[in-house]
Amino acid sequence: EKAKWPKETVELWERLSKKEANDVETVQKSIVHHVTTTLARAAYNMDNFSAYQAVALSTRDRLISRWNETQGQLSKADPKRVYYLSLEFLLGRSMDNALLNMGLKGTYGKGVEQLGFNMEDVIESEVDAALGNGGLGRLAACYMDSLATLDYPAWGYGLRYNYGIFQQRIVDGYQTEYPDYWLNFDNPWELPRLDISIQISFGGHVQSIQDEYGVTRHNWIPAQSVQAIAYDVPIPGYDTENCNNIRLWRSKPTKTFDLTSFNEGNYEKSVEDATNAEKITSVLYPNDNTMAGKELRLKQQYFWTAASLHDIVRRFKKSRREWSDFPDQVAIQLNDTHPTLAIVELQRLLVDEEMLSWDDAWEIVTKTFAFTNHTVLPEAMEKWSVPMFEYLLPRHLQIIFDINLFFLQKVEKKFPNDRGLLNRMSIIEEAQPQQIRMAHLAVVGSHKVNGVAALHSNLIKTTIFKDFVDYYGEDKFVNKTNGITPRRWLHQANPKLSKLISDTLGSDKWLKDLSLLKKLTTKIDNAEFRKSWMAIKRHNKVRLAELIKIRCNVEVSPDALFDVQVKRIHEYKRQFMNILAVIHRYRTIKSMTASQKASVQPRVVIFGGKAAPGYYIAKLVIKLINSVAAVVNQDPAVGDLLKVVFIPDYNVSVAEVIVPASDISQHISTAGTEASGTSNMKFVLNGGLIIGTMDGANIEILEEIGEENIFIFGCLAHEVEDLRHAQRYRGVPMDPALQGVISAIEKGVFEDPKIFQPLISTLTVGKDFYLISADFASYIAANQAVDTAYKNQEEWSKKSIRCTANMGKFSSDRSVKEYADDIWGIKSYPIVDEGHM
Ligand code: NBX
């Protein structure tokens, strides 16, 4: 196109599209420009929020240049790309992260301060992008940061929900939910692509006809359709010009569709249909690790996978390659079973629309997809009822039945005469009504299946996917231990520690090669260094104490041991066991003489996390924590020896304050239930010790940091089954200490005991599914070991440094490299800095 232009025009464009300079004045000019034009404000009429908006707009300009340059160069080179399909991207705030990754934080900081604003306050004005529930969504965000930082050609695909995860407030000790309308003030971190609109259809019926060669062709005649509109979120890498993209889809009514009803004279119906179209991307489902089975959720999943695949296929077609080259150009990663319909949709596009043979199409499909499993909990396994599915996606249902038929025929060939096996492996569960097992479909349609920590990857091979391992062989099932981005979780969240590390190691290279932290080990015996290390922890604790004062109106001493459990509230994560142990601690202190009390290690127990709105037992746990806090915090017999707080509305930006301030954090799931956990990695990276069970990634953290630096307790995964059996059939009595705690609750020490009866019932002998009683004694002992260890601050500081020093493995850079090499077959593609805007 450039070639058509006269030389002068080309030169003019080149001259005017030179990249902006990185000096303070240039930055300030751009900020002021946005204040006076985009925001239409006067300089003296500004608050922190409008300052934030202006800085954000200026940051966004630079992001867009990098995004354009990266996408332009990648379009030309057209290397193999990975597409990460995730219904959740829990990004949190963007501005601080973008400035740090682009190396512009210092310049912007200076510029903003000179303009009369405090950079931290400006940063704090940003609302979180909370388009996720917990670990799964945050993992997607960490992986996007690593993919960009490592210069991998990668796009994320997700949904642009109008409402993210609900806001949690505590009213009378109970969780109450409020809508998170995060788009109230325009979102500067997205680029609406109103020109990119894809029609997505639902319902109707299938027409089967013979073509001229006598082959039966299936034609889906849908009943309705909506539009998918693209919104692009730029993801800048750290210390690179590469800037990747997350494309989020928004649903809109189609114009033609409105008109049909309208012309039929049914104005009301046409407006109703339009509203229904917008509903699809209205709200994020707030359940984690449970399956709700709602029709709207299925609509979300199809809307998103169909739009994404259409986009991916369109991009592939531009290169005019053979269809058989598709898996050499495209890798698609399924983040849990939520995007599994993409497998069916690609098969449908290839067979029905591109006229490939079934077998050729299926080979392409299975070479393209890979699937990550995040849980073994049965209640989390996605299943869709066949009648509901057929109503929404009739042609896709036929294809699923065909996939299943051909698959079971092969299983039958390999393992003849085993009806039980066929029943177990079938994609269709023979229930009333029949159910589609999405995990089976995902395994059958993918070339690799991975778990998210070593233990978990082994567990899925021996439990939920055992038959599939027997059929496909071991090689299809691999482990990819989760990781976290050190850019957000250390450099951004803990700037003082980041600086100390860079000063000590002589560079900030460790931020791109986390194994370099190992060198900190040489500083462990340096008292001066340990002092600086602990001073930073104390600074971070003061900051958290301020947040606790503001959010909970409780004063806590930064000299006490800060004990943290923050994560989604779930029975398997055992926050209940934690608060029961806190009650035990409270009762112990109450029974002490003054001189005994003098040797108690003061502790602040900090909880945070959301419960799914319909999860009654989890919500009662929150109520119990708050009831215990109310009693303990005002008991003069306890004073500063024990404080309990529940920090409301835990989210990514609150985590950024909590994680660097923790002395000990709790990762105490029943062995075999937490697939990996990722906050365990965040805490240890920040020099916080952990107490935990032999579950998920705790095991690998232990291997890296050494057993003397972690507090492990409780039964092992392989013991769980026997323990449950013994409980149920041999009536093992409740642990006596636990019995004492339960009696205290039942006596009404913490509000009306009737409230907590359903919670206590979960501990009834034979019904304690999560083995709180079985693990209770060892849990109490481990907590005592923590107290004892903490009293020796010199030794503790050595443990703390050793923790951070040995966390190299848990960078998401390592995880993403493993995916790239072993699953996706993609190479990094650093873009060339041509000095363009
Ligand atoms: O994924 C979490 C696991 O529980 C963690 O152990 C693991 O570390 C993390 C990342 O691999 N799973 C999770 O967060 N699941 C969900 O949030 C979820 C959301 C919706 C849904 C099912 C699960 N339908």
- Quick: pLDDT tens for 469-520: 999 999 999 999 999 999 999 999 999 999 999 999 999 999 999 999 999 9
Distance 231 CA to ligand 1 centre (A): 25
* Active-site annotation holds for 367: no
Average pLDDT, the chain: 97
Which one of 297, 375, 377, 479 would you pick to mutate in the ligand 1 pocket, going by the greatest count of ligand atoms within 8 A of its CB?
A: 375
* Active-site annotation holds for 80: no
148 pLDDT exceeds 70?
yes
Please tell me the total number of residues recorded for the chain in this structure.
Answer: 837
User: What is the predicted pLDDT for the residue at 274?
Assistant: 83
* Active-site annotation holds for 290: no
Please state, in angstroms and rounded to a whole number, the distance separating the CA atoms of residues 235 and 106: 20
Burial class (CB in 10 A: 0-12, 13-18, 19+), 95: buried
438 ligand 1 Cβ < 6 A: no
Which one of 159, 289, 296, 456 would you pick to mutate in the ligand 1 pocket, going by the greatest count of ligand atoms within 8 A of its CB?
A: 289
ipTM computed for the complex? 0.99
Distance 219 CA to ligand 1 centre (A): 37
Please state, in angstroms and rounded to a whole number, the distance separating the CA atoms of residues 334 and 85: 5
The answer to whether the beta carbons of residues 540 and 701 sit under 8 Å apart is no
680 ligand 1 Cβ < 6 A: no
Could you give the C-alpha distances from 440 to 87, 107, 262, 381, in angstroms and in order?
19, 52, 43, 10
457 ligand 1 Cβ < 6 A: no
Cα dihedral sign, 188-191-195-196: negative
136 ligand 1 Cβ < 6 A: yes
Mean pLDDT for the stretch of residues 337-349:
98
380 ligand 1 Cβ < 6 A: yes
Cα dihedral sign, 462-468-473-474: negative
pLDDT band, residue 257 (cuts 50/70/90): low
Other CB atoms closer than 10 Å to residue 316's CB: what's the count? Answer: 17
Please state, in angstroms and rounded to a whole number, the distance separating the CA atoms of residues 468 and 425: 7
697 ligand 1 Cβ < 6 A: no
Please state, in angstroms and rounded to a whole number, the distance separating the CA atoms of residues 560 and 627: 22
User: What is the predicted pLDDT for the residue at 291?
Assistant: 82
- Residue 171: φ, ψ to 5°: -120, 120
DSSP letter (8 states) at residue 830: P
User: What is the predicted pLDDT for the residue at 4?
Assistant: 86
Mean pLDDT for the stretch of residues 737-759:
97
Please state, in angstroms and rounded to a whole number, the distance separating the CA atoms of residues 217 and 366: 22
* Active-site annotation holds for 568: yes
Give the residue among 682, 366, 289 at the shortest CA–CA distance from 514: 682
| β-sheet bridge partners, residue 205 | 221
361 pLDDT exceeds 70?
yes
* Active-site annotation holds for 410: no
Q: Whose CA is nearest to atom 21 of ligand 1?
A: 288
Largest CA distance in the chain: 96
Other CB atoms closer than 10 Å to residue 320's CB: what's the count? Answer: 6
DSSP letter (8 states) at residue 166: P
pLDDT band, residue 334 (cuts 50/70/90): very high
Question: How many separate helices (H) and strands (E) can be counted in the chain?
Answer: 34, 24
User: What is the predicted pLDDT for the residue at 260?
Assistant: 63
Higher-scoring residue by pLDDT: 264, 286? 286
Mean pLDDT for the stretch of residues 816-832:
98
User: What is the predicted pLDDT for the residue at 255?
Assistant: 72
Mean pLDDT for the stretch of residues 213-234:
96
Other CB atoms closer than 10 Å to residue 737's CB: what's the count? Answer: 18
* Active-site annotation holds for 817: no
Please state, in angstroms and rounded to a whole number, the distance separating the CA atoms of residues 115 and 451: 49
pLDDT band, residue 590 (cuts 50/70/90): very high
Distance 4 CA to ligand 1 centre (A): 53
User: What is the token pair recorded at 741?
Assistant: 């705690």
Buried b (16+ CB within 10 A) or exposed e, 232-250: bbbbbbbbbbbbbbbbbbb
Please state, in angstroms and rounded to a whole number, the distance separating the CA atoms of residues 470 and 382: 23
Please name the amino acid found at residue 366.
T
Helix (H) or strand (E) holding 253: strand 243-253
272 pLDDT exceeds 90?
no
Distant-in-sequence, close-in-space partners of 647: CB < 8 Å, separation ≥ 6: 547, 548, 551, 552, 566, 606, 607, 608, 654, 658
Other CB atoms closer than 10 Å to residue 513's CB: what's the count? Answer: 13
Please state, in angstroms and rounded to a whole number, the distance separating the CA atoms of residues 424 and 442: 15
Distance 19 CA to ligand 1 centre (A): 41
Q: What is the pLDDT of residues 32-77, one digit of tens each?
A: 999 999 999 988 889 999 999 999 999 999 999 999 999 999 999 9
Domain spanning 78-93+128-482: CATH 3.90.1300.10: no
Same fold, 78-93+128-482 and 559-801: yes
Mean pLDDT for the stretch of residues 323-351:
98
Hey, what CATH class is 559-801 in? Answer: alpha beta
Domain boundaries, given as residue ranges, for the chain: 1-77+96-127, 78-93+128-482, 559-801
User: What is the token pair recorded at 160?
Assistant: 């642009």
Mean pLDDT for the stretch of residues 360-379:
98
675 ligand 1 Cβ < 6 A: yes
User: What is the predicted pLDDT for the residue at 259?
Assistant: 54
